Amino acid sequence: MKALLLSEYKKFELADLPRPTPGPDEILVQVAACGICGSDVHGYDGTSGRRIPPIVMGHEAAGTVAEIGSGVSAFKKGDRVTFDSTVYCGKCDYCLSGQVNLCDFRQVVGVSCGDYRRYGAFAEYVVVPQRIVYRLPDALSFPEAAMLEAVSVALHAVRVSEMRGGETALVIGAGMIGLLTLQSARAAGAARVLITDLDATRLKLAKEMGADDALHLSGAELIAEVMRLTAGKGVDVVLEAVGRNETISTAIDCVRKGGTVTLIGNIKPEITLPLQKVVSREIRLQGTAASAGEYPQAIELMTSGKIRVKPLITAVAPLDEGPNWFDRLHAGEPNLMKIVLAPQESKVIQ
């Protein structure tokens, strides 16, 4: 089969690899669309340490069932499907409590980190366990369905923030996850959603996605404007989708006493925490990792139009154009959001 192999850092090969064979509880998916995630770009240059070559990356995917294992009964050949990026064991205490994203034996599709190597979906075929597979409605195209993984991450971030409806929320960072988090907060019943970024183009898109206020500000100016917009109180929830010292510090200054700051972004492995502000103002800091069962909700919200992803897809390109798109993303070319690669080009429009 044709596959985009990261043979060494910053070097791809369009390789001919053996077509995988599903085990008893596994499904062979013929990949129709697979999005390039920011984590793949960090894996491309080795900065993440979680895409050790040689590896076929790619975990935001959708396609059709090509073959099923002997123990698979819920799916059949030809079904339109997507799958979670998290491969969980289903047996540990975390899995049994529904926290599959915290599985003691968690693996991720398209990742190699020393502990394991699991080939991903920048290929014509990929094998995944049936327990992480979800059937797709006909209303979702394959490129849209490739966005479900990112949508589920945004929905999980909102869920762990324990929003009850009626909140004023601030999203810091209008990248892919930030824009999906904005829509997820709205779907969760937020009365008002603010978003901030330093990229005016992204903020324009944020307004189209439903932001009440798109703030082209940072630091002290952002804090002052948030306080003005909330009559000096601060927002109820900050959803921080960057992960830098300065943005997390700003998030803490923008939230009200007793409010929640949910940390989604993790660009920096360590930050300096303004401890006294957190403690004396009783602010809840909430981490969020991947997703844990939000796929059905993501499918429903996308199908109903409550979460829109089409405007976020910059291009759908054949697999052999993947190296060029990775170079452009790695270089930080402006106005690029989601790039979707199509190993089976004839499937893209279905």
- pLDDT tens digits, 147-157: 999 999 999 99
State what percent of residues in the chain have pLDDT above 70.
Answer: 98
Q: Distance between CA atoms of 162 and 87, rounded to whole angstroms?
A: 25
Q: Assess if residue 98 is contained within a domain.
A: yes
In this prediction, residue 345 has a pLDDT band, given cuts at 50, 70 and 90, of low
123 and 157 fall within a common domain:
no
Stretch 36-47: mean pLDDT, rounded? 93
Longest dimension (CA), the chain: 62
25 and 70 fall within a common domain:
yes
214 and 322 fall within a common domain:
no
Q: Distance between CA atoms of 62 and 30, rounded to whole angstroms?
A: 8
Q: Assess if residue 304 is contained within a domain.
A: no
Question: Any alpha helices (H) in the chain, and if so which ranges?
Answer: 38-44, 93-96, 142-145, 148-160, 176-187, 200-208, 219-229, 245-254, 275-280, 295-304, 322-330
Q: Distance between CA atoms of 326 and 40, rounded to whole angstroms?
A: 9
Contact at 8 Å (CB) between 210 and 191? no
Q: Distance between CA atoms of 218 and 23, rounded to whole angstroms?
A: 51
CB atoms within 10 A of CB 287: 10
The number of domains in the chain is 2
283 and 176 fall within a common domain:
yes
What pLDDT does residue 269 have?
A: 84
What pLDDT does residue 350 have?
A: 42
Burial of 16 (0-12, 13-18, 19+ CB in 10 A): exposed
42 and 122 fall within a common domain:
yes
Residues 6+ away with beta carbon under 8 Å from 6: 12, 43, 44, 51, 53, 54, 55, 56, 57
- Residue 267 in tokens: 């660009």
- Residue 307 in tokens: 């979460």
Q: Distance between CA atoms of 60 and 75, rounded to whole angstroms?
A: 20
Mean pLDDT of the chain: 96
pLDDT above 70: residue 336: yes
Backbone angles phi, psi at 315, to 5 degrees: -160, 150
Q: Assess if residue 299 is contained within a domain.
A: no
Backbone angles phi, psi at 30, to 5 degrees: -85, 110
For residue 237, give its domain range: 152-287
CATH number at residue 74: 3.90.180.10
What pLDDT does residue 184 have?
A: 98
Stretch 102-128: mean pLDDT, rounded? 96
What pLDDT does residue 346 have?
A: 45
What pLDDT does residue 344 have?
A: 80
What pLDDT does residue 347 have?
A: 45
Q: Distance between CA atoms of 327 and 320, rounded to whole angstroms?
A: 13
Instruction: Specify the range with the lowest mean pLDDT, choosing from 12-16, 69-73, 229-233, 267-271.
Output: 267-271
pLDDT above 70: residue 222: yes
pLDDT above 80: residue 254: yes
What pLDDT does residue 348 have?
A: 45
Q: Distance between CA atoms of 34 and 13, rounded to whole angstroms?
A: 17
pLDDT above 70: residue 231: yes
